[in-house]
Amino acid sequence: MELYSQHLSGCSSVASEISLKLSSKIGEMSPKAEEFTKSGKAQKILSAIGIDSVSSSLMTLPITEMAETIHQACLKNELQFQCAYGFIQDKDKISAHIMTMIENDGNIKMMFESECKRPEFTPSTYACIGDNTEQWVKDCGVSIGAYNNTRTNINIRMGTTYADVMMMIEELMGKANTESELVKLMGESSDLMATTLQELSKLESFKCRSYYQMERCLLKSVNKVCGFDSVHALETILRVGYLRRERGDDLHMQFLESEIPPTKACAKTFNS
């Protein structure tokens, strides 16, 4: 057991050092681009189309820094999985874990299938997206603005509604004085949650339709300026894991546990 502890400690120490470097470059500890600089404006546009802050920071780095950051991220992941294998000794289990992450996170999918396999191509692929944000606004500004507003408003409404219902359920469960009352109230709480999720799913469909209109214009513009690799990267980062990312982990898990499928408007574009 001591050998395992030493192994994990050594691995974790190296991986932690790399994680710290990455965080200071593109993560929570990284300096935020000034709003009126080129990078700041680009990141704001990337955020409006749904790109997360880490990816937008990466896409607006100078290309040499971007290449080094991608290299560090790939190294960190390799170290972490080597550590896991050294402890678990089960390649199938680790591979299944990797596959689950790939199926549920576009950034991780790009890392495993592109960034770490083709490191010489990825920086230019991302740089073209980050360098030409003004062109995306010129070509698709109306649909980007409409999607950003729709997305923001619906996400707030969904988050607020979910929080309110969770509070109602907590108050409802607190009224149980006997086991039979608890069982009855659990059933009522489950019905309330299912009804709420059905309504939220209908609301979510408006956002998915707005996304589809924005994406159709955006990918056409990106393909014209940057080519297929950039289209594939953008589509993957935006689409894979969209529902989980937009809903948040807790609400998304409620949808899964209640077996509420996405509406047709969302299912035709997103499956996770």
- In the chain, the amino acid numbered 21 is K
> pLDDT at residue 110 above 90?
yes
The answer to whether the CB of 114 falls within 8 A of the CB of 228 is no
Residue 52 is predicted with a pLDDT of 92
pLDDT of 35 strictly over 50 = yes
Is 90 exceeded by the pLDDT of residue 125? yes
Query: pLDDT tens for residues 43-73?
Result: 999 999 999 998 999 999 999 999 998 988 8
Same-domain status, 100 and 143? no
Higher local confidence (pLDDT), 88 or 267? 267
Q: In the predicted model, is pLDDT for residue 201 greater than 90?
A: yes
CB 187 within 8 Å of CB 246 = no
Rounded to an integer, the average pLDDT of 180-203 is 90
- In this prediction, residue 31 carries a pLDDT of 62
Q: Does residue 272 lie within any of the structural domains?
A: no
Residues 227 and 172 in one domain: yes
Of residues 220 and 11, the one with the higher pLDDT is: 220
Give ∠ CA 101-79-10 in degrees, rounded to 5: 130
Q: What is the pLDDT of residues 210-251, one digit of tens each?
A: 999 999 999 999 999 999 999 999 999 999 999 999 999 999
- Count other C-beta atoms under 10 Å from residue 31's C-beta: 8
Output the pLDDT for position 11: 56
The pLDDT of residue 3 is 36
**pLDDT confidence of residue 7:** 39
**pLDDT score recorded for residue 231:** 97
Single out the residue in 131, 160, 180 at which a domain terminates.
Answer: 131
Any idea which of 116-120, 129-133, 249-253 has the lowest mean pLDDT? 116-120
As for how many domains the chain has, the answer is 2
Predicted confidence at residue 6, as pLDDT, reads: 41
Instruction: Please tell me the predicted confidence (pLDDT) of residue 248.
Output: 95
Percentage with pLDDT > 70 across the chain:
85
Last residue within a domain, chosen from 75, 109, 131: 131
And the tokens for 61? 């780095």
Q: What is the mean pLDDT of residues 167-193?
A: 84
Q: Which amino acid is it at 136?
A: W
pLDDT at 84 over 80: no
Is the pLDDT score of 2 beyond 50? no
> In terms of residue numbers, what domain contains 259?
139-267
DSSP state letters, the chain? -HHHHHHHHHHHHHHHHHHHHHHHHHSTTSPPPPTTSHHHHHHHHHHHTT--HHHHHHHTS-HHHHHHHHHHHHHHHHHHHHHHHHHH--HHHHHHHHHHHHHH-HHHHHIIIIITT-TTTHHHHHHHHHHTHHHHHHHHHHHHHHHHHHHHHHHHHHHHHHHHHHHHHHHHHTT--SHHHHHHHHHHHHHHHHHHHHHHHHHHHHHHHHHHHHHHHHHHHHHHHT-HHHHHHHHHHHHTTHHHHHH-HHHHHHHHHTT-PPPHHHHTT---
For the cut 90, the answer to whether the pLDDT of residue 78 exceeds it is: no
Are residues 78 and 160 both part of a single domain?
A: no
Whether residue 149 is found in the same domain as residue 252? yes
Q: Is residue 29 pLDDT above 60, yes or no?
A: no
50: left (phi over 0), alpha (psi -120 to 50) or beta: left
Q: Do 170 and 149 have their domain in common?
A: yes
Answer yes or no: do 235 and 199 share one domain: yes
Higher pLDDT, 207 or 91: 207
> Which residue would you say has higher pLDDT here, 121 or 66?
66
Query: Which one of 67, 98, 131 terminates a domain?
Result: 131
Residue type, 196: T
Task: Determine contact, residues 60/77, Cβ cutoff 8 Å.
Answer: no
Looking at the structure, tell me whether residues 59 and 33 fall in a common domain: yes
